[in-house]
């Protein structure tokens, strides 16, 4: 995930490989709390609850900058167990992660909330060594060609995990909460419509 710090350390190829989907977040919650969380109508109510994220993740800084209560766990493999045990209220995961992860770690005490969708702009890029401009140029050229001939989108939508997420998220039936991302570099090509998946395409 890009950030000002990451782009100072390495050279980004500013074509978001996941079309911005990592910034669309659903919440994994305890089944016993599903109705309570579904009834939340505004961000203030949501911010009163405690989210969990992995230690060192950029998402922690983004959520904290938006005044969310966040606990960072160094034990990624046990976050779902800790959530089920009541240590946290919800676990925001990208729509590309939530269903796949619950399939891998089935837990009858946990469900994916159906009413809310968090969003903050972010991008996953290829990064290369700052001294390797030729590689950066070649990657950029290849990705631009793939965008132009349609093969980028063809490959993107063919991936089973992507298809599953776009089928299950039902974005237009959710309450969208848009957050700021103060870590996003100014050079992020947010206005280039070719590069991002529009919300009304997430059905």
Q: Where are the alpha helices (DSSP H) in the chain?
A: 4-9, 34-38, 43-47, 58-65, 79-84, 98-104, 133-149, 151-158, 160-168
Statement: residue 200 has pLDDT above 80: no
Q: How does residue 61 score in pLDDT terms, banded at 50, 70 and 90?
A: very high
Instruction: Grade residue 144 by pLDDT with cuts at 50, 70 and 90.
Output: very high
Q: 114: burial class by Cβ within 10 Å (0-12, 13-18, 19+)? A: middle
**pLDDT reading at 194 higher than 60:** yes
Q: What's the mean pLDDT in 144-169? A: 94
Dist CA 202 CA 196 (whole Å): 11
Q: Say if residue 10's pLDDT is above 90.
A: yes
Spell out the residues 6+ positions from residue 69 whose beta carbon is closer than 8 angstroms to its own. 47, 48, 49, 50, 51
CB of 16 closer than 8 Å to CB of 196: yes
Secondary structure class of 29 (helix, strand, coil): strand
The structural domains of the chain, ordered by start, are 4-186 (3.40.190.10)
Higher pLDDT, 27 or 198: 27
According to the model, what pLDDT value does residue 9 have? 96
Question: How, if at all, do strands 50-54 and 110-112 pair?
Answer: unpaired
CA distance 21 to 119: 9
Paired tokens of 39: 């009834």
């Amino acid at each position: 995930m890009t950030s000002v710090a990451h782009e100072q350390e390495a050279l980004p190829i500013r074509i978001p490989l996941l079309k911005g989907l990592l910034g669309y977040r659903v919440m994994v919650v305890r089944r016993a709390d599903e109705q309570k969380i579904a009834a939340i109508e505004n961000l203030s109510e949501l911010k009163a609850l405690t989210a969990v994220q992995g230690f060192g993740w950029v998402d922690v800084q983004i959520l904290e900058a938006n005044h969310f209560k966040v606990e960072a766990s160094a034990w990624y493999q046990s976050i779902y167990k800790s959530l089920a045990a009541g240590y946290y209220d919800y676990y925001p995961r990208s729509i590309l992660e939530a269903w796949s992860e619950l399939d891998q770690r089935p837990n009858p005490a946990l469900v994916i909330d159906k009413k809310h969708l968090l969003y903050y702009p972010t991008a996953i890029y290829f990064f290369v060594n700052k001294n390797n401009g030729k590689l950066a140029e070649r990657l950029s050229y290849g990705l631009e060609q793939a965008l132009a001939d349609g093969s980028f989108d063809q490959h993107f939508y063919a991936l089973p995990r992507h298809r599953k997420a776009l089928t299950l998220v039902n974005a237009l039936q959710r309450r969208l909460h848009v957050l700021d991302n103060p870590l996003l570099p100014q050079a992020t090509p947010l206005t280039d419509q070719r590069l991002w998946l529009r919300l009304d395409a997430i059905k």
